[in-house]
A and B are shown apart, each in its own frame.
Chain A
Amino acid sequence: MKVLCIANRGDALPTQYFDPRIPRGPRSEFVVTPGQTYVVYALRFLSNQVWYYIDDDDHEWYPIRKPAPLFRVVDARLSKYWGIRVAESDHGSNVLLAFEEWLSVPGFYDRLTDREDPEVATFKERKRQMDEEFPE
């Protein structure tokens, strides 16, 4: 799955993406570039929100979620490496499409963002596979 960035400011977002407890507003900028395409490494449906996990312009060691309304889908195929996890949480329905390790290993993404070596290595390999799956 690939998406094309069509906006990088908060004013492109519907109201459900704003939380008064977070200093995010219409003028907030996201670290993505309009006109650039991004491979989606995971997809989350959370209540009435949709988030794409991409390698944003900070190019960190982990994919970070971005609101779907900032993008347009340009390759609608789902990755063959994805599975699905469905759960109910305090935030409502929580559906995650991601690669196996993320779905099956508790705390995987948590440790990945903490830059734990095994998780970083796993994501690096999964990223390589999905980048090959959805080439430029």
Chain B
Amino acid sequence: MDTDEGQDEDPVSLHKYLYAGANPVNQRDPSGNDFDLAGSLTAMTSGVTIFGMSALQSAIVIQGVTGSLFAMSLAGIGAALEGKSPDQIADATGSMTTMAFGALSAIGGSVAVSSKLAAYALAVISVGGGGWTAYNQYQKGNFTAAVYYGTIGVLGGILAAAVPYLRGSTQTAPTVVLKGPTPSVEPTWLGEQLILEEAEANADVIIDNVDLGDSPRLEANYGQGEWVKMKWTHQVQGAPTGVAGQSDHYVIHFFKNLDTGESVEFKFKNRL
């Protein structure tokens, strides 16, 4: 919790959860009184550049401006909800302290979600600070402001706790979807059934065993081992040979696990 009592003319400073600089997702402020600039900078990996500056310099400017605007907005809303006069609201909104604190805290907190532990700490701080501020406002009779600070604190806490998972999900390597098993061909008559059995028992021609693209899929569907693509040719005695459009042999392809002996996914690549 922020041990600083804050100042009435600077509503942002009243926020007990403003360790996070009104930006609990991106801000880290473990002591409640300072922020970790170096750590924040390491998280600036957007690579966006502006006005010819380096990506790091651009990120610092962007973070600072964003944090200032957010803090100014929050200060103005808080002052209004507390029943301040228009001048006081304007002062709070345009407070240099608010802008500077927002900018610095936004920069410093940009890596707050780099670890789950930091994010959980921020969530606790946000909820605790928001709750504490809400309680103080309630004691003063500012019910609307109490609800406001309480809600901000809870939402900030939820967001801080959730972001590491969101980041994790967006940084996960693309999932490779492997096709399922392909059923073996159905023999249309007894002769084909026998040919398939013959192929499984006698096939001795390996088509491919080193560049087999199906290996990951086969391992996923049927189990580990050295999978190879096999070929078996069954010559049909008495079948017409050399006749265009007619075949005199069956060709069967299938996959075999040389380690387990399992044979799967029989296909007729050529049939009479």
Chain A residues close to B by CB (< 8 Å): 19, 21-24, 28, 31, 44, 46, 58, 60, 64-65, 89-91, 94, 106-107, 109-111, 113-115
Contact = CB atoms under 8 A, between A and B. Distances in A.
Given A21-B259, A22-B206, A24-B204, A58 B249 contact: yes
Given A110-B213, A115-B269, 4 more contacts: A23-B202, A23-B204, A64-B205, A64-B207
Contacts of A109: 208, 211
A110 B261 CA distance: 21
Interface in B235-272: 249, 251, 253, 258-259, 261, 269-270
A28 to B, nearest CB: 5
Contacts of B259: 21
B219 interface: no
Contacts of B233: 31, 58
A46 B210 contact: yes
Nearest to A87: B210
26 contacts: A21-B258, A22-B206, A23-B201, A23-B202, A23-B203, A23-B204, A28-B204, A31-B233, A44-B210, A46-B210, A58-B249, A58-B251, A60-B251, A60-B269, A60-B270, A65-B207, A89-B210, A90-B226, A106-B213, A107-B211, A110-B208, A110-B213, A110-B229, A111-B213, A113-B253, A114-B253
What is the predominant secondary structure among interface residues of chain A facing chain B?
loop
B207 A113 contact: yes
A63 to B, nearest CB: 10
B258 A19 contact: yes
B15 interface: no
A136 B171 CA distance: 58
Nearest to B269: A115
B209 interface: yes
